[in-house]
A = this chain, B = another copy of it.
């Protein structure tokens, strides 16, 4: 089985996603919000690209979530902090969500056979589910404004490390970027908090007052929930 890794959103498309399982990784913070919401019993997350589309998709029992420049959108119920997406708020709700990068990453991934959402919070469950789908896997690190983000890369390394453990390294063909991130993750894993606070998004969120989000999003395997794309929305994949 092959696992490719793509460094940032603008490199998607050169690759052929058809027939493959894509895992979209946008750790700070869209992926982490989606995983947290579905783990908290939210019915479905509908990713849309624009604020207008989000408002149009709104109906009774929905919550509007998302950000622009890391901040909650005026008039929306929720921003882009996973701590806003906990059970007491999201249970049985439908969430319509628009974020700068994460939503676009999901849209770009839709050429794949399966689209899953990965984060530190659900890493082991996510790669395990992807391996069970028995297709070649593409890890899309969403990055930030077309540039590679460390936290997404470390998450890719985490997923590759877990895949190595499950499948055995000899069964897997990992590309060079994946190998670099696998090495990087193994080095950083003993202190992910430090790594997450040293990278560009960690520092930016810290400055904007979202320090708790950074701490939250670097936790590994808090949830077993795996979001999967089905007919226009993300729902929990039941194993």
| Given A184-B187, A187-B183: A177 and B195 interface contact (C-beta under 8 Å) | no
Residues 165-205 (chain A) with a chain B CB within 8 angstroms: 175-177, 179-181, 183-188, 195, 198-200
Cα distance A187–B148 in the bound complex, in angstroms:
20
Is there an interface contact between B180 and A148, defined as CB atoms closer than 8 Å? Answer: yes
A115 at the interface (CB under 8 A from B): no
A149 at the interface (CB under 8 A from B): yes
- Kindly report which residue of chain B lies nearest to residue A149, judged by CB atoms: B176
A154 at the interface (CB under 8 A from B): yes
A153 at the interface (CB under 8 A from B): yes
Is there an interface contact between A180 and B179, defined as CB atoms closer than 8 Å? Answer: no
| Given A184-B187, A186-B187, A187-B183: A176 and B147 interface contact (C-beta under 8 Å) | yes
Cα distance A148–B175 in the bound complex, in angstroms:
9
Is there an interface contact between A195 and B176, defined as CB atoms closer than 8 Å? Answer: no
A177 CB to nearest B CB, Å: 5
**A147 to chain B: which residues have CB within 8 Å?**
175-176
**A154 to chain B: which residues have CB within 8 Å?**
180, 183
- Report which residue of A147, A150, A176, A188 has the largest number of chain B beta carbons within 10 angstroms of its beta carbon: A176
| Given A7-B7, A148-B7: A176 and B188 interface contact (C-beta under 8 Å) | no
**A181 to chain B: which residues have CB within 8 Å?**
180, 184
Q: A residues near B, CB below 8 A? A: 7, 147-150, 153-154, 175-177, 179-181, 183-188, 195, 198-200
